[in-house]
Every structure is written in C-alpha cells, then in structure tokens.
Amino acid sequence: MRKGIYPGSFDPFTNGHLDIIVRAASLCDKLYVAAARNGTKEPLFTLGERLEILKECCQGNGSIEVVTFDGLLADFCIKNGISSIIRGLRATADYEYEHAIALMNRRLAPQVETVFLMADAENSFISSTIVKEVARNGGDVSSFVPPAVVSQLKSKFS
Ligand code: COA
C-alpha cells in the first residue's frame, strides 16, 4: 500500500490546499492530511478548529485520513510507513523554503520521498496569510476558501 502525507498548518484551509489534496489522493492508496505545528507561526485557529474543517472538507473520500502529530514530520512518516510527503509549489518564492525542508526531511528519513505538485494557476496567488488579511478587513474570501472556512473567518473577525 502506498501511503502519502500532505502536511500543513492550514490556518486556514484554502481552495489551493483542497486542489492539492484531490490530486495527491489519486497518487496514493492512502493519504494522511496532517494539520501540524509550524513553530514559527502563531495560528489564528486552534488545532481543534483546523481539524474540524479538514474533516468536513475531506469527508466522502475513504482513502483520506485527517490527523495531527507532535514532533517531527519525518518521525511520523517512519512510524506510520508513509513513503511520500506531498507539498504544493505555487511560485518560485516557495522553492527555497521547500528545498531546505525537503532535504532536511530526507536526511531525517531517507526512505521518505518529498513529491511536489504544482499549484493550480487559479490558486497560485492564494496563501492562508493573504486570506486572513482580506477577511480581517471585511473583504469577500468566498472564492478562495470552502464555505465552512468563510463562516469560521466571519466569526473570528466579527
Ligand atoms: N494553495 C494555497 N496556499 C498554499 C498552497 C496551495 N497549493 N501551498 C502552500 N500554500 C501556503 C499556505 O497557505 C501557507 O501560507 P501562510 O504561510 O500564509 O500560512 C504556506 O503556503 C505554507 O504553509 P503550509 O503548507 O501550511 O506549511 P507550513 O510551512 O506552515 O508548515 C509543516 C509546514 C507544518 C508541514 C512543517 O512546519 C512541519 O513539518 N512541522 C513539523 C515539524 C517538522 O518536522 N519540521 C520540519 C523539520 S525540517
């Protein structure tokens, strides 16, 4: 069984993330979608809130499991027999950051391959930070995030 993982902070989850999940799911027998902690970011949404949205958006696809983990992604992969880490690439600006993390993860878990999927052109300018900025200032984010996230953002900023 080929197991992959799509990790992220998902603060919040966007249509760009959803696009990567749908495409990644077709490449693996089982895809873990993992809401993880990025030690450099202070999240707006609690882990519980992010997991709830991920579960709602991924329901109906039996090959996807929404999870979270503490510690290193590489250790989670080794423990769960995961052979691929899926990451989305939007623009060249993502490359340097992703390159460093992919090489570190390979050093930590040589048996795990990082696979990059190009973000869809329609979503390639979206980031969680930009979405939060638009929502915080009362803008319409409904074409960038799933409906459940629109409501979550409204209640955070109301
Ligand atoms: N569509 C829309 N946005 C996308 C995207 C796409 N296809 N691909 C990436 N992004 C955006 C995200 O919205 C996010 O935006 P933000 O910076 O404004 O929040 C940004 O790109 C990247 O964030 P994300 O994909 O959520 O990853 P991250 O870099 O915040 O988190 C972890 C990466 C959580 C997977 C990583 O920190 C991790 O593995 N942590 C566990 C500890 C560990 O093992 N660290 C690595 C050791 S080297």
Q: Ligand 1 centre from 52 Cα, in Å? A: 18
pLDDT of residue 92: 85
pLDDT of residue 41: 87
pLDDT along the chain (158 residues), means of 10: 97 97 97 92 95 95 96 98 97 91 98 96 94 97 96 94
Q: Would you call 32 helix, strand, or coil by DSSP?
A: strand
Nearest protein CA to atom 19 of ligand 1, as residue: 128
CATH superfamily assigned to domain 3-126: HUPs (3.40.50.620)
Q: Ligand 1 centre from 9 Cα, in Å? A: 5
Tell me the chain's radius of gyration from C-alpha atoms.
15
pLDDT of residue 91: 85
**How is the chain split into domains, by residue range?**
3-126
pLDDT of residue 93: 82
* Longest distance between any two alpha carbons in the chain, whole Å: 46
CB 84 less than 6 A from any atom of ligand 1: no
